[in-house]
Amino acid sequence: MSNRVAIIGVGMCKFGELWDKSLVDITLEAGMYSIFDSGVRGADIDGLVIGNMSAGRFTGQEHLGAQAADIGGLGDMPAYSVEAACASGGAAVRHAYMAIKSGEHDVMLVLGAEKMSDVNQTEAMNTISVASDWEWEGMFGATFPALYAFMARRHMKEYGTTEEQLAMPTVKNHANAAHNEWAQFQRAVPIEVVMKSGLLADPLRVLHSAPITDGAAGLVMCREDLAKKYTDTPVFIESSEQSGDTLALHDRQSITTMNAVVNSTRSALKEANLELKDIDVFELHDSFSIGEIILTEDVGIAKKGEGGKVIEEGITQIGGKFPVNTSGGLKARGHPIGATGVAQIVELALQLRGDAEKRQVDGAEKGLAVNIGGTGATSIAHILGR
């Protein structure tokens, strides 16, 4: 049996507030782009999986696997939908990886999609909040901005992280997204603007937070021995690992460390027989700027407490030692919840193929994506190789 699973096609729709498009429209667009990019025919695909957090609440539609196969004209193939809060996209990639690795499927279409702007902001925030511990957090008004604000304030107290450092992931990621045609916000943002934006939950401000986003992303994945049949530039998934932690922050030993991220990334590196220094480009889940700072530490790029310092020193910029979120990340590319984990893999595949244009990391051969659910109750890590 083949040791690796190949990614042979990638595609996305442009992320944003897509008032003139439905969930069906964006899902179909991402699927078609990835199929066209792969060179496969619809008849070659023998399975489909879609990641989505809460289409039933956002749009009124469930049963998305069957819907995606139907609108794509893909016949009666097995079609699955998976949910893991903000890690739903990563879970879809992992589901397909395991299905192909096991021999159950040969060629699969992987999708992630979320249409979030069809409800008002209060309804959207309530829907997002069910990814936390609703009984002990959401029911008492602890929204995700509030929960991440707890994490940020504690990080600042324990390690001296500054307000300037808290703004720096936003500045970096907007600069990267300026070169990403699929990104929601394709413009740079000065640090002064970030630091003067409205407060969400002290110390977090509006420009520390990922936006409400509509979007979809897609991959075509297959067995390694089939890849060359379709493309000369396959990218391989060298490891896929998932780990968990408590749903509620108050049950954790520390709210400035995501143990699920620590465990999933270490396991992924071990499975791929790599060290962190072997990774050339990273996509890390930055739903809030403090999230990127903490993940930078938990992945191992920075020592605990020095995530802000590492970003300040330029180590995570394109051209730095460990480039992070070349796509613009969730903050600037956008965060359509179910699509985010798939979009991370799309970016890494483009980087490893040398197709990332003005945001290209020179000579990128290995990439690591970390997609988390909630405040880190789920973490899914994938390592890709050229």
**Is residue 86 annotated as part of the catalytic site, yes or no?**
yes
Is there a single domain that holds both residue 224 and residue 257? Answer: no
What secondary structure, in 3-state letters, does 191-245 show? HHHHHHCCEEECCEEHHHECCCCEEEEEEEEEEHHHHHHHCCCCEEEEEEEEEEC
Mapping DSSP onto H, E and C, the string for 102-123 reads CCCCCEEEEEEEECCCCCCHHH
Burial class (CB in 10 A: 0-12, 13-18, 19+), 125: middle
Do 304 and 354 belong together in one domain? yes
Residues 150 and 268 in one domain: yes
pLDDT-derived band at 1, boundaries 50, 70, 90: very low
Each residue's pLDDT tens digit, 147-169: 999 999 999 999 999 999 999 99
- Is 386's pLDDT higher than 70? yes
Do 161 and 306 lie in a common domain? yes
Exposure of 289 by Cβ count < 10 A (0-12 exposed, 13-18 middle, 19+ buried)? buried
Angle at 374 between CA 11 and CA 280, to 5 degrees: 50
CATH number, domain at 21?
A: 3.40.47.10
Note down the domain range covering 52: 5-119+215-236
Structure confidence by residue, pLDDT tens digits, 60-92: 999 999 999 999 999 999 999 999 999 999 999
- C-alpha span between 204 and 195 (Å, rounded): 9
Same domain, 52 and 200: no
Q: Name the DSSP class of 101.
A: H
Burial class (CB in 10 A: 0-12, 13-18, 19+), 232: exposed
Are 58 and 33 in a shared domain? yes
21 is a domain residue: yes
224 & 262 share domain:
no
Residue-by-residue DSSP string for 132-156? S-TTTTGGGT--HHHHHHHHHHHHH
Q: Is-contact 237 97, C-beta < 8 A? A: yes
Q: Which two tokens stand for residue 353?
A: 């193929």
Whether residue 104 has pLDDT greater than 70 = yes
Whether the pLDDT of residue 2 is over 70: the answer is: no
Q: How confident is residue 121, by pLDDT bands cut at 50, 70 and 90?
A: confident
Choose among 14, 7, 30: nearest CA to 186: 14
DSSP state of 182: T
Residues 63 and 139 in one domain: no
Concatenating the DSSP letter of every residue in 320-368 gives: SSS-B-TT-HHHHH---HHHHHHHHHHHHHHHHHT--GGGPPTT--EEE
Task: Assess if residue 16 is contained within a domain.
Answer: yes
Q: CB–CB of 86/131 below 8 Å?
A: yes
Quote the tokens at residue 270. 């071990």
Phi/psi region, residue 363 (left: phi>0; alpha: psi -120 to 50; beta: rest), is left
**Residue 255 sits in the same domain as residue 353:** yes
> How many CB atoms within 10 Å of residue 21?
19
Is 298 inside any structural domain?
yes
Is 76 found in the same domain as 182?
no
**pLDDT, tens only, 256-292:** 999 999 999 999 999 999 999 999 999 999 999 999 9
Q: Which residues, 6+ apart, have CB-to-CB distance to 334 below 8 Å?
A: 15, 16, 183, 184, 185, 210, 211, 213, 215
Choose, from 155, 174, 335, 382, the residue flagged as catalytic.
Answer: 335
185 and 230 inside one domain: no
pLDDT over 60 (residue 295): yes
- Quick one: pLDDT at residue 79? 98
Query: 26 in a domain, yes or no?
Result: yes
State pLDDT tens for residues 168-215: 999 999 999 999 999 999 999 999 999 999 999 999 999 999 999 999
Taking alpha carbons only, the member of 377, 364, 363 closest to residue 144 is 377
13, 86, 95, 382: which one is catalytic? 86
DSSP 3-state of 372: strand
C-alpha–C-alpha distance, residues 256 and 245, integer Å: 13
Question: Residue 3 has what pLDDT?
Answer: 72
Q: Based on C-alpha coordinates, what's the Rg of the chain?
A: 19
How many domains, in total, are found in the chain? 2
Give the DSSP letter of residue 96: H
**Mean pLDDT estimate for the chain:** 97
Give residue for tokens 């970016």.
347
101 plus 48 within the same structural domain? yes
pLDDT per residue as tens digits for the range 7-57: 999 999 999 999 999 999 999 999 999 999 999 999 999 999 999 999 999
**Between vectors from CA 330 to CA 218 and to CA 129, what angle results, nearest 5°?**
100
